[in-house]
Amino acid sequence: MSLASLCHRVLSDLRQHLYTQIITTVVVSLSIVIFAFFTLIYFNLHQFVERFGTELGLVVFLTNDIPQGKIPGLYQKLTELPGVEKVTYISSKKAFKRLENYLKGEKGVLEGIDPKFLPPSFEVRVNRAVFHLKRIRQLAEEIGNWPEVSKVQFGQEWIDRLESFLRLFRILVAVSGLLLLFTAGFVVANTIKLTVYARQEELKIMRLVGATNTFIQGPFLAEAFMQGLLGSSLAIGAIFVCYRFLQGLAASSELLRGVNIYFLPWPYTLAIITSSILFCVLGTAIAMWRFLRL
Amino acid sequence: MIFAESSTIIHLQGVTKEYPPDNIVFSNIDLEIEKGEFIFLTGPSGIGKTTLLRLLFCAEQPTSGEIWVDGVALSSLSNSQIPYLRRKIGVIFQDFKLLSDHTVFDNVALSLEVIGLNRRQSRKRVMQVLEGVGLAGKWSNYPLQLSGGEQQRVAIARAVVNRPAIVLADEPTGNLDQERTNEVMMLMEELNARGATVVFATHDDRLYENTHRRVVKLPEGKFEIS
């Protein structure tokens, strides 16, 4: 079958079965909107945890008895670590002052306490582009092993909490995603099957006049390809509108100001569109194979 | 087994068709049909005429025995080879089997499309065939806009447009009045005169009572050739 003949048959089919084609595309589109929306939420939460972890940076507490002469060497060592943006030394005195400022009206609590009781520390800010949460943890472990360092903090508790929430959410997304995918798959597969069954008389006649399975399947598969492509593109478009709306909401809200909302990265978008096309084409091929082998 | 240079175009040897558990449609049939022959396949309704035709175009397989069509043993054909055999056979049904959402032209052109001809290439031949069956003026109509006789003529046009060697007609006049029946018979005679082998299944004995054509009667269980 030539390409021109295929195009002619596809166009003719589209004209004759426009309603069914629209319904199938809408079903595909709706199923993908729901799935992609969940993915968008999950992706943004994941990004938030990543960013939050790196924004906290590291606080490297030194031992109380560290000789003053070793501080510049340590400072140098920290700044030379790849991905480290800024290192600030906080002496015991400065730390004490910060504590006083923090306590404000309750300053009396600190009366009689040696200003050197707080250990000196370095505040380390890392480059977010280089450091992911996992890498920060590794860096903290590495610095923690230095003999002059007593402790390294990087908001571990917060991150652990967020991470465990994210783990739970990931399971929730995975389970709901699978359920959604299954439901969407079931609906789409049955819509396709109904489309094929509705045209089985036509298929029978084609077989009768000597059409090969490839000839019969060609336009159906091309239509399925278009349904998958159009359905998923519409869904991604709808999700983009939704993303812009959420972005506007975040910008105008006091609570959410500063919270960045990200759109699905292009590999995700591409994966959704490709899977949708594959799903439609395979669904049609399977529905037709069942019919054509009879 | 291939009949090289043989004049036999259809050959049935010991063909039996059963539907389990206990419906034997016919058993142990032997039949030879020569190239260019016109035969009537007759017998009362439900005797197996349609089943026999379905075996010939591979819509079903015999329970036992062998069938050769144009020298090819049908049991040796794979599923992917069956369409190529069907292109040598034009089939006409009592219920026309036309695509109601396609025009007359598209219904007829379908037989040419499957063999790879595009619309431009097939236009001339389709119009010629429609002219032949007297429907050239109705090429853009839809089947439901036509009378029964006209629909049957469209079905005939579709069956013969790719010039098949064999035409199988399954009660093609069953739904038509006498005048339309005569028109269809004339078309079938014409096809045969152009060289096609015609197997015409009917239970209407008026169609063959005064004919010189071979009549194959399908009585219950065994063949009787007159």
Question: Would you call B86 and A210 a contact, using CB atoms and an 8 Å cutoff?
Answer: yes
**8 Å CB contact between A36 and A264:** yes
Give pLDDT tens digits for B177-213: 888 888 888 888 988 998 999 999 998 888 888 888 9
Where exactly are the structural domains of chain B? 1-88+164-226, 99-162
Question: Would you call A210 and B83 a contact, using CB atoms and an 8 Å cutoff?
Answer: yes
Question: Would you call B80 and A213 a contact, using CB atoms and an 8 Å cutoff?
Answer: yes
**8 Å CB contact between B51 and B60:** yes
Q: What's the confidence (pLDDT) of residue B115?
A: 86
CATH topology assigned to domain A58-153: Alpha-Beta Plaits (3.30.70)
Nearest to B86 among A8, A204, A209 (CB): A209
**8 Å CB contact between B16 and B55:** no
Q: Which long-range contacts (CB under 8 A, 24 or more apart) does A72-75 make?
A: A74/A122, A74/A146, A74/A148, A75/A122
User: Which amino acid would we find at residue A282?
Assistant: L
Token pair 């010189």 is at which residue? Answer: B212
Rg (CA), chain A: 30
Best mutation target, B96, B101, B107, to test chain A (most A CBs within 10 A) = B101
CATH of segment(s) B1-88+164-226: 3.40.50.300
Predicted confidence (pLDDT) at residue A217 exceeds the cutoff of 80: yes
Within 8 A of A205 by CB-CB distance, chain B residues are 97-99, 110
**8 Å CB contact between B25 and B59:** no
Residues B68-94 have a mean pLDDT of: 92
Q: What's the confidence (pLDDT) of residue B4?
A: 43
Instruction: Residue B94: name the closest of B48, B138, B50 by CA.
Output: B50
Q: What's the confidence (pLDDT) of residue A186?
A: 77
Contact residues, A window 180-219, toward B, CB-based 8 Å cutoff: 201-202, 204-213, 215
Predicted confidence (pLDDT) at residue A294 exceeds the cutoff of 60: no
Give chain B's mean pLDDT. Answer: 87
B84 — phi, psi (to 5°)?
-70, -30
**8 Å CB contact between A126 and A85:** yes
- Percentage of chain A beyond pLDDT 90 is 8
Q: What's the confidence (pLDDT) of residue B221?
A: 56
Strands (E), chain A: 58-62, 84-90, 121-126, 149-153
Number of helices (H) and strands (E) in chain A: give both, helices first.
Answer: 9, 4
Q: Classify B201 as helix, strand or coil.
A: strand
**8 Å CB contact between B108 and B155:** no
Q: Classify B1 as helix, strand or coil.
A: coil
Instruction: Residue A193: name the closest of A60, A16, A79, A27 by CA.
Output: A27
Least confident of A147-161, A208-222, A240-254: A147-161
